[in-house]
Amino acid sequence: MQDMTTKRWQYTNRYIQDMIPKEEPLLIAMQRSARAKEMPEISVGPEVGRFLELVVSMTRGNLALEIGTLGGYSAAWILRGMAPSGHLETIEEMPEYADFAEDWLGRLGHSGRFTIRRGAALSILPDLAKMYGPRSVDFVFVDADKLEYPAYLQCVTDLIRPGGLLVADNVLGTDDFWIDHEEHPERQAVDAFNRTVMEHPDYRAVILPIRQGLLMAQRK
């Protein structure tokens, strides 16, 4: 096994980034517009986007749920992986981000394929659970308040159909903390989430050190 040095890790990440073909112009324009509106630059990047599209396409892709829309960048990739008649429910508490995502996902050709639920995830999730019922969702992407990750897990586990997938972003860190900051409250919440999923009898799960860490789990 080769030693991992800082330099080698940076080279590795650059290598992976450089390998990714150029994004389509409309997606680039969407991200440029988000920056111009001074929205936080915390969306996933194209490497995670491609991962989302790939794994969503490995499910039936009929019903997907995202917690934390921001400007709709990850939602755009999820929608690409879904069946043509599939539907994405995505939750966002900031009205201006939800408006932006609504506009851009429409421009990307996804009108009628998604619903943005405006409000706090933990008050909306029980409504969605009632609306769709248990074992209905093919794919869940968790990417909102890191302190609430354990609570999101409780809300979504019964919603995911056997064989369905759960993916969570930032399971190794964000711009604010990394997983070795053991005293950081967000780190502690994410760590509790990671452990619960990894040890959960109803999931088979892995943590992938892509970007800021992705957890992927399949519901048994």
Interface residues toward ligand SAH, by CB under 6 A:
42-44, 68, 70, 73-74, 91-94, 97, 120-121, 143-145, 148
**Based on CB atoms, which residue is closest to Mg ion, 102 or 169?**
169
Binding-site member from 59, 69, 157, 170 for Mg ion (CB under 5 A): 170
Structural contact between residues 193 and 150, judged by C-beta atoms closer than 8 angstroms? yes
Residue 169 sits in the site that holds Mg ion (CB under 5 A): yes
Taking the C-alpha atoms of residue 190 and residue 147, their distance in angstroms, rounded to an integer, is: 7
CB nearest Mg ion: which residue? 169
- Going by their DSSP bridges, the two strands 214-219 and 203-208 should be labelled as antiparallel
CA distance 219 to 37: 38
CA distance 184 to 178: 9
Residue 143 found at the interface with Mg ion (CB under 5 A): yes
Helix, strand, or coil (residue 145): coil
Helical residues (DSSP H) of the chain, grouped into ranges:
6-19, 25-36, 46-57, 73-81, 95-107, 121-132, 149-156, 185-199
Closer CB to ligand SAH, 35 or 135, in the complex: 35
- Reduce the DSSP state of residue 210 to 3 states and report it: coil
Sequence-distant (≥ 6) Cβ neighbours of residue 151 within 8 angstroms:
122
Among residues 34, 54, 51, which one has the least CA distance to residue 43? 34
Amino acid identity for residue 93 in this structure: E
Our CB check for Mg ion shows the closer of 92 and 169 to be 169
Kindly indicate which of the ranges 120-128, 143-151, 159-167, 180-188 contains the residues binding Mg ion, using the contact rule CB under 5 A.
Answer: 143-151
Residue number with CB closer to ligand SAH (26 or 220): 26
Instruction: Show the site string, 95-134: x = touches Mg ion by CB under 5 A, - = not.
Output: ----------------------------------------
**Residue 165 contact among Mg ion, ligand SAH, none, beta carbon within 5 to 8 Å by kind:** none
66 lies in the site for Mg ion, by CB under 5 A: no
In the complex with ligand SAH, the residue whose CB is nearer, 63 or 167, is 167
d(CA 217, CA 24): 29
We find the least distance from the C-beta atom of residue 220 to ligand SAH, in angstroms, to be 26
Q: Which does 145 bind (CB under 5 to 8 A by kind): Mg ion, ligand SAH, none?
A: ligand SAH
* Residue number with CB closer to ligand SAH (97 or 177): 97
Residues found near Mg ion in the complex (CB under 5 A)? 143, 169-170
